[in-house]
């Protein structure tokens, strides 16, 4: 059997990670909220990177319309209407059996967020609503746990890292959620798979930086893959 380090050899060769960074990644605990488009792509990247423990939280079931952009699911999953967290866990285990993966079929609520997220080193946002994001943000600020925001609609996406006490939080940037029905959603404007991968890649890069001990500055990614527009705003 090849040494475990062979699996991550190309990642270890990257100067930003190295052997010590890889060890930290393999000892990490990541919670991912939402197994939709951003969630499935982020989960796959994290598992391939070798995070120690990945906890997936989602209440929904796989549908045929998900298959265009939600990378872990299959036609069989959609036909059987399997819970997304269950289907994602199964797919991820087949990618990397060294990672401790658990899929939890639940909503994230005020009542359960402490139990589900208290042991996390960082939280990844794969949700599609501001209510849950504000809940994550409140927990993050209260517990001092970093989290990575991400959102996509149409060909546009945005993402940023929240480091409590060091960067702006979600409520700093958006004191109030947008009025109901005032912003486009994937159900009204659609979404391209390519922008999902762009935003999820940025999210996972921020996660890895935190896990290896870096302290990234305040950056907001704005990207429109159809209009060929990429912008990284620094605080």
Cα separation of 103 and 82, whole Å?
A: 12
Residue 12 structure tokens? 């270890």
Residue 22 structure tokens? 């890889």
Say whether 128 sits in a helix, a strand or coil: coil
- HSE of 169 in the Cβ direction (CA atoms, 13 Å)? 18
What region, left, alpha or beta, does residue 88 occupy, with left being phi > 0 and alpha being psi -120 to 50 degrees? alpha
Give the sign of the dihedral formed by CA 189, CA 59, CA 197, CA 152. positive
Please say whether the beta carbons of 5 and 20 come within 8 A. Answer: no
Residue 84 structure tokens? 């997304």
* Gyration radius from the chain CA atoms: 17
What spatial distance separates the first Cα and last Cα of the chain, rounded to whole Å? 47
Cα separation of 93 and 90, whole Å?
A: 5
186 catalytically annotated: yes
Q: Which of 152, 169, 172, 186 is catalytic?
A: 186
Catalytic residues, by residue number, are 186
């Amino acid at each position: 059997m090849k040494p475990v380090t062979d699996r991550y050899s190309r990642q270890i060769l990257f100067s930003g990670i190295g052997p010590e960074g890889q060890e930290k990644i393999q000892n990490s605990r990541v919670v991912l909220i939402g197994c939709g488009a951003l969630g499935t792509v982020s989960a796959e990247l994290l598992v391939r990177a070798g995070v120690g423990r990945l906890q997936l939280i989602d209440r929904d079931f796989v549908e045929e319309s998900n298959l265009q952009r939600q990378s872990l699911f299959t036609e069989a999953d959609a036909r059987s209407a399997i819970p997304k967290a269950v289907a994602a866990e199964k797919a991820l285990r087949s990618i990397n059996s060294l990672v401790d993966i658990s899929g939890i079929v639940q909503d994230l609520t005020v009542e359960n967020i402490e139990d589900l997220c208290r042991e996390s080193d960082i939280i990844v946002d794969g949700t599609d609503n501001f209510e849950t994001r504000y809940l994550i943000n409140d927990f993050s600020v209260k517990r001092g746990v970093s989290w990575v925001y991400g959102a996509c609609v149409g060909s546009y996406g945005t993402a940023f890292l929240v480091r409590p006490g060091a960067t702006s939080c979600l409520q700093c940037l958006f004191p109030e959620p947008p009025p109901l029905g005032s912003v486009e959603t994937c159900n009204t404007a659609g979404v391209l798979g390519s922008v999902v991968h762009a935003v999820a890649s940025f999210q996972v890069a921020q996660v890895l930086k935190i896990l290896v001990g870096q302290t990234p500055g305040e950056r907001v990614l704005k990207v429109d893959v159809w209009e060929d527009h990429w912008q990284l705003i620094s605080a």
